[in-house]
Chain A
Amino acid sequence: MIRAFSALLARDLKLAARVGGSGALSLVFFLMIVVLVPFALGPDLNLLSRIGPAILWLAAVLATLIGLDRLFQSDEEDGSLDLMTGAALPLELVVLAKVLAAWLTTGLPLALASPLFGLLVALSPKAMGATALTLALGTPALAFIGAVGAALTATIRRGGLILAIVVLPLMIPTLIFGVSAAEAALGGTVPFTTPLTVLTALSLIAAVVGTLAAAAALRWSE
């Protein structure tokens, strides 16, 4: 079972690295949004540094959507999903392996690159660290919530838009606590750890509910 799990994880990481994989693309998309905001708002450094964590979080939510529609759809189209139904591995673990691979190629690079992109919106070093930490803890929630939408739209051709409409409202709590945790680190009445703990809890809940829900959606896709 462990062997099947790691084989699936390794295959998805390999596919993301090959031509047509979406790993690097979502990072570039993240950069694009962060670059566009200062152009739109003008060179007001105080304003930028105040809303910087919110911009980075919004960009992360949108970047997560890139390539999400192909998470299960590509396997559904070429029959790999039929192969996985017959694997010595429950469908829940199949979902877990695929989402883990997706997070390692999109969510984690976003969190790691966020201090660098924070420079573009004039974040202080402390804010950069706090935003990177909240992204690292919060992006798993985005990935698992997205997986449910991806599983529901796996059999729909060009389901990217409907997927975004389904999952974006579900990502609001994660966005709220992610941004408030990053801002709490810069001062305020709420201690940093309170929203951070809630954010981590959201990720853990999404991991359980998202895995079960996505597997159920894939199982009864017909």
Chain B
Amino acid sequence: MRLIVENLACRRSGRRIFSGLSFTVGRGEGLMVTGRNGAGKSTLLTMLAGRLKPDGGSIRAEGIGEASLPECLHVIGHRDGLKSALTAEENLGFARDLLGNPAAHPKTALEALGLPHVARLPVGYLSAGQRRRVALARLLVCRRPLWLLDEPTAALDLASQGVLAGLMKHHRSEGGLVIAATHQALGLEDARELRIEPSPPPSRPDEALQAEEWL
């Protein structure tokens, strides 16, 4: 598949976060989204995932047939979508059935992330890093071409960061796309970088007024 974003603009609670964002991600490519805190990295990923309507511009995907864009992507973010009361295996099994297009078995996926021993533990008992790895195992239980990762290395130890880099490399070698918002090097080789610059403050006072009215 191929993701084309043109002239994307975002406004939240009347405040312009970014505007005029354009990029294209093709088969096997990686894109690192960087920028200061609050620049709108997570917002961009939320928009791509279809949870937020853009203020302007367009998001298109080519080569995915009948499916909609949210059905072709995995999101791993700060809110990990895991239920604390369910075991890691149950959480992954649920994601596998819900998202469709199943690939690896939950146990195999947990082994790949180095967590075979937590399969039968409720996720609520796990540490932040282990929880993040269970969430990352979701990437393996269903096959989807686009991965949206929001600071995927947060709370991960060095060894797990290496495992993640390996997973991303393998995914891209199979023609997958990776878009990651991050502050640090992820081991995404030859990935392009998209730096979100803060939107210039409104030059004319009436523009600021319009933003206020939108509230």
In the bound complex, do residue B81 and residue A79 qualify as a contact, i.e. CB atoms below 8 Å apart? yes
In the bound complex, do residue A222 and residue B86 qualify as a contact, i.e. CB atoms below 8 Å apart? no
Number of interface residues of B (CB under 8 A): 30
A209 adjacent to chain B (CB < 8 Å): no
In the bound complex, do residue A85 and residue B98 qualify as a contact, i.e. CB atoms below 8 Å apart? no
In the bound complex, do residue B90 and residue A83 qualify as a contact, i.e. CB atoms below 8 Å apart? no
Sample of 16 more A-B contacts, CB < 8 Å, known A15-B86, A88-B100: A4-B98, A4-B100, A7-B98, A8-B94, A8-B98, A11-B94, A18-B85, A78-B80, A82-B49, A82-B77, A82-B81, A83-B99, A86-B71, A87-B100, A88-B71, A89-B98
In the bound complex, do residue A87 and residue B79 qualify as a contact, i.e. CB atoms below 8 Å apart? no
Across-interface contacts of A80 in B (CB, < 8 A): 81, 83
In the bound complex, do residue A11 and residue B81 qualify as a contact, i.e. CB atoms below 8 Å apart? no
In the bound complex, do residue B90 and residue A84 qualify as a contact, i.e. CB atoms below 8 Å apart? no
Give me 27 A-to-B residue pairs in the complex whose CB atoms sit less than 8 angstroms apart, sorted by A's number: A3-B97, A3-B100, A4-B98, A4-B100, A7-B93, A7-B94, A8-B94, A8-B98, A11-B86, A15-B85, A18-B86, A77-B79, A78-B79, A78-B83, A78-B84, A79-B77, A80-B83, A82-B51, A82-B75, A83-B81, A83-B98, A85-B50, A85-B51, A86-B75, A87-B99, A88-B101, A222-B52
Q: Select one of B70, B77, B78, B95 contacting A85, CB under 8 A.
A: B70
Across-interface contacts of A21 in B (CB, < 8 A): 85
Cα A7 to Cα B82 in complex, Å, equals 15
In the bound complex, do residue A86 and residue B73 qualify as a contact, i.e. CB atoms below 8 Å apart? yes
Cα A89 to Cα B99 in complex, Å, equals 8
Across-interface contacts of A20 in B (CB, < 8 A): 85
Q: Which residues of A in the span 78-108 have a Cβ within 8 Å of any Cβ on B?
A: 78-80, 82-89
Name the CB-closest residue of A to B75. Answer: A82
A34 to chain B, nearest CB (A): 29
Q: What string of 1s and 0s marks CB contacts (under 8 Å) between B82-126 and chain A?
A: 111110001001110111110000000000000000000000000
Main secondary structure of the interface of B (DSSP, over half): loop
Interface residues on A, range: 20 to 34
Measured CB to CB, the residues of A under 8 A from B are: 3-4, 6-8, 11, 14-15, 18-21, 77-80, 82-89, 220, 222
The 10 lowest CB-CB distance pairs between A and B, nearest first, are A79-B79, A7-B97, A88-B100, A79-B81, A18-B85, A86-B70, A83-B81, A87-B98, A80-B81, A11-B94
In the bound complex, do residue B83 and residue A15 qualify as a contact, i.e. CB atoms below 8 Å apart? yes
In the bound complex, do residue B53 and residue A222 qualify as a contact, i.e. CB atoms below 8 Å apart? yes
Across-interface contacts of B49 in A (CB, < 8 A): 82, 85-86
From known contacts A88-B99, A88-B100, A222-B51, infer whether A82 and B79 are also in contact, taking CB-CB under 8 Å: yes
Name the CB-closest residue of B to A4. Answer: B98
A18 to chain B, nearest CB (A): 4
B44 to chain A, nearest CB (A): 14
Across-interface contacts of A82 in B (CB, < 8 A): 46, 49, 51, 75, 77, 79, 81
Across-interface contacts of A6 in B (CB, < 8 A): 97
Cα A63 to Cα B89 in complex, Å, equals 33
Cα A82 to Cα B50 in complex, Å, equals 9
Q: What string of 1s and 0s marks CB contacts (under 8 Å) between B51-79 and chain A?
A: 11100000000000000001101110111
Name the CB-closest residue of A to B96. Answer: A7
B9 to chain A, nearest CB (A): 15
B108 to chain A, nearest CB (A): 19
Across-interface contacts of B85 in A (CB, < 8 A): 15, 18-21
Across-interface contacts of B79 in A (CB, < 8 A): 77-79, 82
Name the CB-closest residue of A to B144. Answer: A86
In the bound complex, do residue A84 and residue B86 qualify as a contact, i.e. CB atoms below 8 Å apart? no
